[in-house]
Amino acid sequence: MNPLSVLRDAWFFSSHNLAAIARLTLPLLVLEAIAQAVLAAQLGEDANPAYGVLLGILFYPLYAAPLILFLHARSNGQTPGNAQLFAAGLQLWPSFALMTGLSTLAIMLGLSLFIVPGIWIMMRLAFSELILVLRQEPPLRALQSSFSMTEGRFWPVFACLANVLLPLWLLDWWTQPSQGDTLLWVLHQAGNGFLQLFAIVVLFRLFMLLDPRQPAASQNND
């Protein structure tokens, strides 16, 4: 399994389905950014960052689950409508939000222990969202299954995610506007969130290669 090949295939798929992915996810990303801006305005500069994290946990499943379902459908040559994807994703929202909260808590706990444990946990839980959505497993079992699936595969997963997320995190830090400029800040947050969704495409490609239950379909089909 070559990380460069995974990244190439994910980029090919994303570039050929960019408009469809944007229509599916951008409205909710903008809504999430607006909600974050309103929350920040209401709570002030000294607000506990946990409120922002909680808001992200509530919004993230609303666009991540439909995106995963879209990736799976397109890999099988299907073109479901956005309404169908949102309806299916909404049914998964309670379990997806719970699992997102548990994994976020575990990663933050690990990051508090000199960063490295947090990175290790993040890589081991990388497939939990895909497992929950595609296998319909409950949150705790999805987390356990991700640990099993990434056993002995830490470095390929790390190589793929690091090549995607590190540049995007640096770009986010470098271009971060003042929160006082609300419109620019909302656009920046939504745009950065949209770019980071590429990590889901990369993980989906890895998942399709590693999961024996899934056909080894190539994402080079647009």
- Are 55 and 35 within 8 A, CB to CB? yes
Residue bearing tokens 């956005």: 82
Phi-psi region at 215: left, alpha or beta (left = phi > 0; alpha = psi -120 to 50):
beta
d(CA 103, CA 122): 8
70 and 80 Cβ atoms separated by less than 8 Å: yes
At 194, list the tokens.
Answer: 């949209």
Distance from first CA to last CA of the chain, Å, rounded? 22
pLDDT for res 47: 64
3-state secondary structure of 116: helix
Mean pLDDT score across all residues of the chain: 89
pLDDT in tens, 97-134: 999 999 999 888 887 777 788 899 999 999 999 999 99
Q: Give pLDDT tens digits for 21-31.
A: 999 999 999 99
pLDDT number for residue 1: 65
Chain segment 42-76, per-residue pLDDT in tens: 876 666 777 888 999 999 999 999 999 999 999 98
Give residue limits of the domains in the chain.
3-209
d(CA 35, CA 28): 10
Dihedral angle at the C-alpha atoms of 113, 168, 73, 1, nearest 10 degrees? -70
Is pTM beyond 0.75 here?
Answer: yes
